[in-house]
Amino acid sequence: MIAQVRATAQQWMDSNIDDASRKAIVHMMKHDEKELVESFYKVLEFGTGGLRGIMGTGTNRMNIYTIGMATQGLANYLLKEFNHLEEISVVIAHDCRNNSPLFARTAADVLTANGIKAFLFDDLRPTPELSFAIRELKCQSGIMITASHNPKEYNGYKAYWEDGGQIINPHDVNIVNEVKRIASINDVKFIGDPSKIMMVGKEIDELFLKRSLSKALNVDMIEKHADIRIVFTPIHGTGVYMVPEALSRLGFRNIYNVPEQDVVSGDFPTVVSPNPEEPAALDLALKKAEEVEADLVMATDPDGDRVGIAVRNNKGKLILLNGNQTSVLLTYYLLSQWSAKGLLKGKEFMAKTIVTSELVTDIYKKYDITYFDVLTGFKFIADKIRKYEGELTFIGGGEESYGFMIGDFVRDKDAVTTCSMLAEIAAWAKEQEKSMFDLLLDIYQEYAFYKESLVSVVRKGKDGAEEIAAIMENFRTSPPVTIDGSEVTEVRDYLLQKSTDKSTGAESATGLPVSNVLQFLAENGTKVSIRPSGTEPKIKFYFSVRENLKSRNDYDKVNAALETRIEKIKEELQLN
């Protein structure tokens, strides 16, 4: 291993790299063998979602050379796929992370060096705006430089296709193969053509905001309750302008920011992790909310595609909602209002990911709407939109990991439009003399009280990747017989693309693309899902349990019972 690593590092040393990178490699060779191994033991894989990794020098790190090789592969594929066009164009955006502007400019240089026109945003922009801009500018592809909600050491590169969605089969596999053919840094054309770089800015902002605001369903009601108090934080990221601007244009007058977190910074100085899924990331926003007696708290991640929220419960205390609960509220509101306004004509659809709460499915079924369960990743929801474009109208869809999308003008998670819709829901609740938490209780009483939980087991580096693979293999070959005191009736293996009825042994196709995901469904409605993260060094365990909520007064009791059941499942799977 070490001999191979040193050979790879030496190959880089002999390539056309800058002096700083060369010095970093020399230092690792002489003084830090462990870091040398981590930096060069493999090539940072350009997967179906692009690149994501720790920034630094080496084949397994995010730097201008791995960015360049990825972009050269993308350029090679675009030149083949769109050889019938007079001009091929790609739009590029970036978030607030350290090196993001540099990586975006590097991608633009490589593209233009290959004769491809590059639309480059003049400053940081949220991911949903990049997705929107691809179709608005009639581009063939898009690149977003972001590591989403990963820690500050990370950066990433997401590739998009001409429909505005992240790249999927067959283009993803074809691009991966093109990237693999880039044998050396010397194969990359780094010297760009400035005449082919077009800067874009406010004009796209305005078009994006206009489309986003058009999704409001009850403008008159917003005006009536424009005084609700909202705290918003971008957690140092791209939501800093767009979300408050959208809320203000809708008419909301009391929007409070968190000054410390309005500072755009890739160091994320006020948080350990800039992830709205992490309660600590909302601490400052919650403190501000108590000061101003806010009704709603919203926080977006660095690239503005995910949103975490807090609302006041039936005791007036601010509590954080998880991604499933937020998705439930959005789904319930969208369908109830589309129905009330006579907009449901039988040609609409919604979608969610397979690890998202089945309560969302129950709501779909009530409104008798076409719906799809897809693999984790909004690129699969975007694919459904593309497939049924002109035939079915997409209302919205979401996932448990704090992402939601409303309408089809964006083809990825969209925290900007989602924040606007959540504020509208708060106004709708107030019109009924309720809180958003009251709405959630109404939903639990009407359908059932579903409670979900997530455990992420982090295993870093080469050894960690091997351990994660071993965990998946163990559950695949020795699945649990019972979960939550109930017999497992179905096992879904999306890697093998089969679902097994445990009572009869009958097998059926999952009907979804290959993905390393396992699901165990118990007779009592409990569901456990397991999958390695595609973007972080962790394996995720998703738990879902349910029970009827006969009375609002029973909420605390039922909630505690469901929490106890989830903890017991964790013990069964040895995760405590």
The closest alpha carbon to 26, from 41, 13, 14, belongs to 13
Cβ proximity of 320 and 231 under 8 Å: no
Among the options 148, 212, 327, 499, which is catalytic?
A: 148
Residue 259: is the preceding peptide bond cis (ω within 30°)? no
The partner residues of 518 in beta bridges, in order of sequence, read: 493, 530
The H-or-E segment that residue 140 falls in is: none
Cα(384)–Cα(513) distance, rounded to whole angstroms? 13
Query: Quick one: CA dihedral 520, 403, 323, 449, positive or negative?
Result: negative
Q: Which residues neighbour 334 within 8 Å (Cβ) at sequence distance 6 or greater?
A: 217, 350, 395, 396, 406, 421
Could you give the angle at the alpha carbon of 329 between the alpha carbons of 365 and 534, nearest 5°?
A: 85
Cα(468)–Cα(530) distance, rounded to whole angstroms? 11
The DSSP 8-state label assigned to residue 167 in this structure reads P
Cβ proximity of 118 and 197 under 8 Å: yes
The closest alpha carbon to 535, from 358, 374, 408, 401, belongs to 401
Token couple for 142: 């898009």
Cα(161)–Cα(143) distance, rounded to whole angstroms? 9
Is 148 tagged catalytic? Answer: yes
| Angstrom distances, CA of residue 61 to CA of 37, 64, 248, 354, 372 | 11, 10, 40, 31, 36
Q: What is the DSSP string of 346-409?
A: S-EEEEEETTS-HHHHHHHHHTT-EEEEE-SSHHHHHHHHHHHTTTSEEEEEEETTTEEEESSS
Cβ proximity of 412 and 241 under 8 Å: no
| Angstrom distances, CA of residue 512 to CA of 110, 346, 411, 508, 532 | 35, 24, 19, 12, 17
Phi, psi dihedrals of residue 483, rounded to the nearest 5°:
-140, 135
The closest alpha carbon to 184, from 78, 55, 43, 79, belongs to 43
Strand order in the sheet with 318-321: 254-257, 229-233, 296-300, 307-312, 318-321
The closest alpha carbon to 468, from 425, 382, 407, 530, belongs to 530
Cα(452)–Cα(199) distance, rounded to whole angstroms? 44
Phi, psi dihedrals of residue 372, rounded to the nearest 5°:
-135, 140
Cα(569)–Cα(543) distance, rounded to whole angstroms? 8
Cβ proximity of 247 and 196 under 8 Å: no
Q: Which residues neighbour 146 within 8 Å (Cβ) at sequence distance 6 or greater?
A: 94, 95, 97, 100, 127, 155, 156, 158, 302, 303
Active-site positions read 148
